[in-house]
């Protein structure tokens, strides 16, 4: 089960780019249900996600590079590219996944925080540099972004 909140980011913290990061490329074979292929650095995955905004089922299956490249050609919509910084919130034992989009969505910056329980997610107080909470709008789900005209 994935439990996460998502926020728009208007301004980056000064040290954001000092944290470790991943280079991510992903495309969608289906958006309902969500079936995604992703390259994260040198690892490849096929992911299924159920419906939902705050909570949803998520399953990741490893792929080979060859399988990933084959499936990526079959995706619909736009392939998303982003750099994901991993910023710890040490006093809460959480990690901010800060996504800085490139390519078609350059300028878009989102932060996601995953939680162990729904209660933890609902009681989370975001850092002051977080912008609007877009968890429940669905507008900024990557699968929806990929299908924008």
pLDDT in tens, 10-58: 899 999 999 999 999 999 999 999 999 999 999 999 999 999 999 999 9
**Alpha carbon 88 to chain centroid distance?**
16
User: In this structure, what token pair is assigned to residue 125?
Assistant: 């107080």
Torsion-angle region of 28 (φ positive above 0: left; ψ -120 to 50: alpha; else: beta) = beta
44 catalytic, yes or no? Answer: no
Q: What class, spelled out in words, does domain 2-146 have in CATH?
A: mainly beta
User: In this structure, what token pair is assigned to residue 14?
Assistant: 């000064």
Q: What is the pLDDT of residue 92?
A: 85
Residue of 20, 21, 18, 68 whose CA lies nearest to 43 = 68
Task: Name the catalytic one among 19, 21, 28, 45.
Answer: 28
**Domain edges within the chain:** 2-146
Q: What is the pLDDT of residue 98?
A: 98
pLDDT in tens, 87-141: 999 778 999 999 999 999 999 999 999 999 999 999 999 999 999 999 999 899 9
> For residue 58, with 0-12 CB atoms within 10 Å meaning exposed, 13-18 middle and 19 or more buried, which class applies?
middle
């Amino acid at each position: 089960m994935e439990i996460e909140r998502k926020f728009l980011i208007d301004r980056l913290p000064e040290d954001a780019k000092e944290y470790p990061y991943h280079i991510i490329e992903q495309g969608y074979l289906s958006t309902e249900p969500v079936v995604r292929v992703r390259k994260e650095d040198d690892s490849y995955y096929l992911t299924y996600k159920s419906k939902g905004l705050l909570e949803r089922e998520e399953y990741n299956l490893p792929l080979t590079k060859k399988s990933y490249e084959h499936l990526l050609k079959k995706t619909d919509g736009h392939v998303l590219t982003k750099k994901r910084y991993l910023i710890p919130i040490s006093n809460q034992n959480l990690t901010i996944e800060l996504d800085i989009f490139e390519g078609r969505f350059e300028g878009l910056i989102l932060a996601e925080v995953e939680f162990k329980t729904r209660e933890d997610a609902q009681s989370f107080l975001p850092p002051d540099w977080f912008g609007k909470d877009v968890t429940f709008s669905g507008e900024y789900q990557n699968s929806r972004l990929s299908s924008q005209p």
